[in-house]
Each structure stands twice: as C-alpha cells, then as structure tokens.
Chain A
Amino acid sequence: MDLTVKPEYRQFRDEVRAFLADNLTADLREAGRLATSVFHDVERSMAWQKILHKKGWAAPHWPKKFGGTGWDVVQRAIFAEESLQADAPAMIPMGLHMCGPCIIGCGTQEQKDYYLPRILSGEDFWCQGYSEPGAGSDLASLQTFAESDGDHYIVNGTKIWTTYAHYANKIFCLVRTNKNCKPQEGITFLLIDMNTPGITVEPIIGLDLVREQNTVFFDNVRVPKANVVGKENDGWTVAKYLLMFERGGQEYAPALFHGLEKVKEIAAQEFGSFGGRLADDKTFMRKVAEVEIEVTALEFTENRIKAALGSGQSPGALASMTKILGTELSQRITELAIEAVGVYGLPQQVDAIQPGANLPFVGPEYALTAMPRYLNTRATTIYGGSNEVQRGIIAKMVLGL
C-alpha cells in the first residue's frame, strides 16, 4: 500500500495540461465555467469534442480498437481532473458514455462500424428514451410498443424526461415487443432516427427555467429491425449493461473537489457578516471542511474500487454506492455555494450565463451559477436510478436483504 505516483504519470499530466492550454479557447472555457448542469452547452461541448476527437481523446473509456485511448484508470482520472481544472466543457454523455459502450458491448459488427465513428465525431447526437410517464423507477413497466411489421417495427408511445432530445438526431429506446410475459422479458433495445416521420418533441422547462428535458411522442413510427441492439426481447440485459456504465463509468471525487475549491474561492471574496471575509467565518468553513472530508473518503472509496477491479470491469452494485455518495455530496456543495453567495443567489439571471449571451448582470460572476446549479443538482438524486432505488439495490445485491 502506498500513494506514490509513478513518474510516467507526471509526464502524462504535463502532456494533457499542455494540450488543454493550447486548445481550449476562452469561449470554450467560458462554457465550462458557467455550466450549471452535467449537460453542458451543446454547441461548445460538441466543438470541444471535435478537437478532442482529432487528437484521439474523445472517448478515453472506450477500447482502443473502437477509437478509445488505451489509457489506464489512472490516466483517465488525470485527464478528467485536468479537464475540470481547465474549465473544459464536459462531453454530452448520451452518445459517448451510454449508447456507445452499449453498442460496443452488445451491438452487431455493422452497428459498430456504422455508429461508433459517428458518435466519436459528433455527427450523431444521441438521446436516451427510457422513462415514460408511467414508468420511472419502475422502468420495466414501460408501455411504448413496437409492433412487428415484416422487417420493421411500428412504434407507438410516449417517452418523457428525454434530455436534449431537441438537439438529437438519434434516440436509443427501450420498447415493448412482447406483452404476454414477465415485464422485463418483453423489452427490446432499439435505435431510432429522430427524423423518422411520426416523432414529435415537446419541451419540459426545469426548475431553473432551462429547457433540458423533453417529451417525445411516437405515432406509428417505422423502425427497421436491423436497429435492435442485442436480441429482440432481450433489451433488459442490454439496458442493465448500460446502466452500469451510466452509474459506474464515472468518478465523482475529482469534480467534487473542484466544486469545493470554487466554494472556497467564493468564501475568500465574500464579506463576512461580523467582519473579515466569509473565509474567516469558522461556522461556514467547518461545513466546507466536513464536506471535504467526506469527499476525501469517497476519493479513496473510488480508488479502492478501481484498484480491486482493474480497468474495464464493471463495479457492479458498488456503483450504486458511489452514485449515492457522489450525487448527495454534490448537492451539499451546491448548497454551500448558495450560502456563500448570500443574497446574490436571488436575482434570476439564468439568461446571462448562456454562453455568448453577453448580457449585463448584477453581482459577481461567480454568483450567477450558484442558484441554477443548486436547483439543477437536485435532479442528480432522481435520475440514473434514484438514490432510493440505488439503496434498494445495495440492500438486495450487497447485503442480501
């Protein structure tokens, strides 16, 4: 057991840092800095993806033969940390982190050949069509029906909460292909082109007054059967494989430490109520320290999981644990940030933080993002399997209750 960092990793960090310094324009950094959701500004995120793709770094977590980097877990973590430090826009996850790995794991050769390069290049923009009005936590009860019609399906139904469907040209869906069996057994994983006739997209406006989610309606939409990933009626297996990536593919601690640094920077600039700066206020700084200690624990929990598994393996039910910790800690950090900015969290200025908006605003720039982040981050314990559902998984799978 030791914590020494091999010299080649230091060299790697320097290489990443230099690349980011050379390639991140002010415009791109602004998008990263002002982002208030895990889903960053589409235009800038995609522009950054193109730059990364040219360098071969768009999908560090993919196997090398499909266009990944071949980095080990430590290198991937270094890349993630440096990207955060440099305010790089985050990759939009639906293609690179969800649909891509799924096609890699369960797709046909044709699907791999066709879709993977288009995901890497950003030519295809994917959204995730799982949830329905009646099927949230109980995903297996989904009703969107794909009726067989020769070598096509005719799809009818409604998907909801579909993040960025209004930007997407593709959607990966779970649809029902058999109604006469256990709910999990009649589900198929289906790739659908958003430009197919019969699809309509309606906006859902969030608490933070931003449009991220949508409702997607399918009215007699014809989809080739060749677009099934895995086997017909075996979509639940594919979905579970993907969920592991959605939950376990990411490490939370680096972003959490980054968020805490930002809170400390705010505290150093804000005034205290009883003299000095907020950073001199013991009550506040102790709360920051408490969260930092918990994040440190999570960092080492994540490291232990990583070390035990090596690269490429799925952490299984333990991913539920890091999802619970990572999301709840991120909520506490956004809570510290709204406390730190005080009354300047109140002005409704979400328009001013849209990249390139150039609108006048009141208060310091760092206050602009605090409230929208606090509001938006409430969703992290709801999506990707709610934290109640995750606790249920641990109770069952880990504790055997």
Chain B
Amino acid sequence: MNFDLSEEQQMLVDSIGKFLKNDYDFEVRRKLAKSELGFSRDNWKTYAELGWLSVPFSADNGGFGGSTVDLMLMHEQFGKAMVVEPLIPTLILGGRLIELLGSAQQKETLLSAVIQGELQLALASNERIARNNPAIVGTTATAAGSDYVLNGEKIVVLNGAAADKLLVTARTSGAVDAADGISVFLVDANAPGIERTGYATVDGLRAADIRFTHVKVSAANLLGTAGAALEAVETVLDEATLALCAEAVGAMDVMYKTTVEYCKTRKQFGTPIGKFQVLQFRMVDMFIAHEQSKSMIYMAALRALEGRDAARKAISAAKVQIGKSSRKVGQEAIQLHGGMGMTDELNVGYYFKRVTAFDALFGNVDFHLERYTQVA
C-alpha cells in the first residue's frame, strides 16, 4: 500500500497550489463571486493553458488521461481556495458525459473545445420530483419526424446560466421513475423554447432553473442510444460527487486551521481562548474529522478504479462521512469564532456556506446512506 503521489501528480498539485496561492486569494475569490458572470474567463483560459481542463479526459480524446485519484487531488486544491470557475459542471458533468456517450465526431469537436477552454457546459438532470435521483425524470423527449421535442423543467442546474450548451436528460420512454428510457440530448443553451433563470447560490457559485417548452432537437444531438443513458449519467454524477467531496475536504482543512489560528490569537479573560480546554477538545475533533474525511476521499478515489459497484459504494460512503464531518467542522468553526464567525467579512463564513451547499448537492447524507445500503 502506498499513498505517495507520482511525479506527475505532484507536479499537478504543485502547479494548482502555486496558482491559487499567487492569484486566487480570498479577496480575489470574493470579487469574482460577486461579478456579473460569477467567475473569470481569463482564469478559464489560464486553466486551459496549464492543461487542467484536459485532466479528466482520455489521451484518445486529447486529454491528460487522469484517474479518479488525479481528479481528487486537483479538486482538494480547488476546494481550499473555493474556486468559482465551473470545473465540475463543464469538465465532469458535461465533458465526461460527452466522452462516455458521444459519437467519435461529437467527442472530437466538443471535447477539444472544452479542453481549449472555449466551451462551457451544464448537465440539466435534476428535477423537483427527483430529489437528486437521476432515474426520476419527468422531462419528456417526444419523437417528431427526425427531431425530438423536449418539455419539462430542470432545477438548480450548476453553471446553467453561463453554459453554451446543455446536456439534458429526458424520457424517451417508460414511467417517470423507470431506469430505462432516459436519454441525453445536447442542446444549444439559447435554443428557442429554453427559458433560463440564473442566480447566485449561497456558496457564491452560479446555477439556473431551466424550462423547456417544445424545444426542438435534431436526432443527431441525441447522445448515445435512445433510452440507455442512465448508467453514464450516474457515472458522471459519481465522479462529480467525488470531486465535490475532495473540495469539501480542502475547505475543511482551511476551516479547522483558520479556527486554530484564531483561537491562538483571540484573547478573552486575559488569555488566548485556545487555552480553554473545552475549546481545545472541539478543535481536536475538527482536526480528527478532517483526517477521517481525507482518508475517505483517498479510499473513494482508489476504490473507484475497481469497477462500477465498488465506485458507487465508495463514493456514497465518502459523501456520507464528509457530509457529516464538514457540517460539524463548519458549525464549530463559526461557533469558535464567536461574533466574527457570523459576518460576511471573514473567510470562515464563506467556507461554512460552501460546505453547507455541499451536502445538498448530488444527494445528501440520507440519500447516500440509502444508496450505500442498496449497492451490494
């Protein structure tokens, strides 16, 4: 057993770490989150130039051929700086789904655009009736000649407003909750009949609710075989969950360390509050929660290499552990900062909101606990 990074992995981590340290401090991040777009197109270009946008894709498709381990290492760094650029939506939820389902031609044109930083994507899959279960799809795609017509509504689509193209799950057959009959369509985000309501999210990212009213899609924009997309959708959601878990671990790392530093310097009753044993023990528990969570992303990233069922079980386990731990660490970080923790001024509040949003995305603790028990 060996948890050392390869030379290539070390380089990747170092290059991300260096960029974030020099060009992505808290103030920069805060400004970006408040900007009109919600992220920086210049940064996106830089990420393309540094090769980060190619990491999840295979060499055949012009990518770096990164594994789940590379993905995890990368996103732990992104999580430490709460990077706002839509890496998970465009690369994993969008790009990887194209890689899994698309034709050779779709992969060639679309993935090279993604890797070069010229295409923003979003996966429109979640619905109100679904509560994060990708098998529940009420949006319909009805065949009409050589076209399909989409009708339905998708909620809280990450990067939904900035995306150039949307990958939409829709039902071409079957009951609302049938595993079969789910298809993925690639549509222009500005196609007639698409109504997007974009907004900022509580953690400073961007999402949109998207309504599809008689949206025409040509059959050429069906990704993969009609009605057989669920497995691929679940795979990219799992990869996205893993990446998000890694970001939460990065965020926890910052939160517990920031809290320890704060308690060393904040004085009450003539002494640093970090001297109070009751607070010491709680910071020790924050430290332990972070260590346990870090172990869980390592576990999940490695087990994910062992096949679909292993991946599903491991990633659900990680989402449960990290969901619980990050909530605890976040709440304690606020509490130990006292009034300062409640303000929009300190970074700790932003990390707290980030991990709060984390739990709600891609299925919360309860969802993954249930899924964990269902996977053999």
Binding site for B on A (CB under 8 A): 131, 134-138, 141, 160-161, 204-207, 209, 213, 270-275, 278, 281, 283-284, 331, 335, 338-339, 342-349, 360, 362-363, 371, 374-375, 378-379, 381-383, 386-388, 391
A346 x B335 contact (CB < 8 A): no
Measured between beta carbons, the chain A residues less than 8 angstroms from B359 are: 339
Q: Mark B324-341, 1 if CB is under 8 A from A, else 0.
A: 000100010011001101
> Given the complex of chains A and B, what is the CA–CA distance between A209 and B364 in angstroms?
25
Which of B202-210, B221-229, B291-299 touches A? B202-210
Residues of A within 8 A of B349 (CB): 207
**Closest CB pairs A-B (n = 7):** A343-B156, A138-B268, A205-B344, A273-B131, A346-B201, A348-B200, A273-B133
Q: Please give, as numbers and ranges, the residues of chain A lying within 8 Å of B201 by CB-CB distance.
A: 346-348
In the complex, chain B residues whose CB is within 8 Å of the CB of A131: 339
**Taking beta carbons and an 8 Å cutoff, which residues of B are in contact with A?**
126, 128-133, 136, 155-156, 177, 197, 199-203, 207, 209, 267-270, 273, 276, 278-279, 327, 331, 334-335, 338-339, 341-345, 349, 352-353, 356-357, 359-361, 363-364, 366-367, 369-370
A-B contact pairs, 9 of them (CB 8 A): A136-B338, A207-B334, A207-B341, A207-B349, A271-B136, A362-B155, A363-B209, A379-B339, A382-B339
CB of B155 within 8 A of CB of A160, answer no
A362 near B128 (CB under 8 angstroms)?
no
Count contacts between A and B, CB distance < 8 Å: 139
| Residues in A neighbouring B335, C-beta threshold 8 A | 378, 381-382, 386-387
Q: How far is the CA of A274 from the CA of B343 in the complex (A)?
A: 38
Q: For residue B132, which residues in chain A have a CB less than 8 angstroms away from its CB?
A: 273, 342-343
Q: How far apart sit A161 and B341, CA to CA, in the bound complex (Å)? A: 12
Q: How far is the CA of A349 from the CA of B197 in the complex (A)?
A: 12
A362 B131 Cβ-Cβ under 8 A = no
Contact A342 B360 (CB under 8 A): yes
**Chain A minimum-CB-distance residue to B335:** A381
Q: Which of A206, A371, A386 contacts B202 (CB 8 A)?
A: A371
Contact of A137 among B156, B334, B338 (CB under 8 A): B338
Query: Do B278 and A339 touch (CB < 8 A)?
Result: no
- Residues of chain A within 8 A of B156, CB atoms compared: 343-344, 346-347
Q: B342 contacts which of A206, A283, A335, A388 (Cβ < 8 Å)?
A: A206
- Contact of A284 with B366 in the complex, beta carbons under 8 Å: yes
- Whether B129 pairs with A271 at a CB distance below 8 angstroms is yes
Q: Give bound CA distance, A283 to B136, whole Å.
A: 20
Identify the closest chain B residue to A374 (Cβ). Answer: B356
Contact of A338 among B203, B278, B331, B360 (CB under 8 A): B360
With contacts A206-B343, A348-B201, A378-B331 taken as known, whether A343 is within 8 angstroms of B338 at the C-beta atoms is no
Nearest B residue (CB) for A287: B366
B-side contacts of A349, CB under 8 Å: 199
Report whether B155 and A136 are in contact in the complex, using a CB–CB cutoff of 8 Å.
no
* B201 to chain A: closest residue by CB: A346
CB-based contact B343/A207 at 8 Å: yes
Q: How far is it, in angstroms, between the C-alpha of A275 and the C-alpha of B129 when the chains are bound? A: 9
A284 to B177: give the CA distance in the assembly, Å: 21
- Please, how many angstroms separate the alpha-carbon atoms of A388 and B343 in the complex? 20
Instruction: Evaluate contact between B339 and A346: CB separation under 8 angstroms.
Output: no
Which of A273, A284, A348, A383 is the one whose CB lies under 8 Å from B130? A273
Q: Quick one: which of A209, A339, A386 contacts B366, CB cutoff 8 A?
A: A339
Cross-chain contact of A206 among B130, B344, B357 (Cβ < 8 A): B344
Residue of A141, A283, A387, A391 touching B369 (CB-CB under 8 A): A283
Docked Cα-Cα span, A388 to B337, in Å, equals 12
Contacting pair B339 A347 (CB below 8 A): no
Beyond A209-B344, A278-B131, whether A137 also contacts B268 by CB under 8 A is: yes
Cβ distance A206 to chain B, nearest Cβ, rounded Å: 6
Which residues of chain B come closer than 8 Å to A213, judged between CB atoms? Answer: 339, 342-343
**Complex interface: chain A residues within 8 A of B367 (CB):** 273
A204 touching B343 in the complex, CB below 8 Å, given contacts A346-B202, A362-B155, A386-B338: yes
Whether the pair B353, A207 counts as a contact (CB closer than 8 A) is yes
Would you call A207 and B131 a contact (CB within 8 A)?
A: no
Q: How far is the CB of A129 from chain B (nearest CB, A)?
A: 14
* B338 in contact with A382 (CB, 8 Å): yes
The one of B136, B207, B268, B344 in contact with A347, judged by C-beta atoms closer than 8 angstroms, is B207
CA distance A371 to B132 in the complex (A): 18
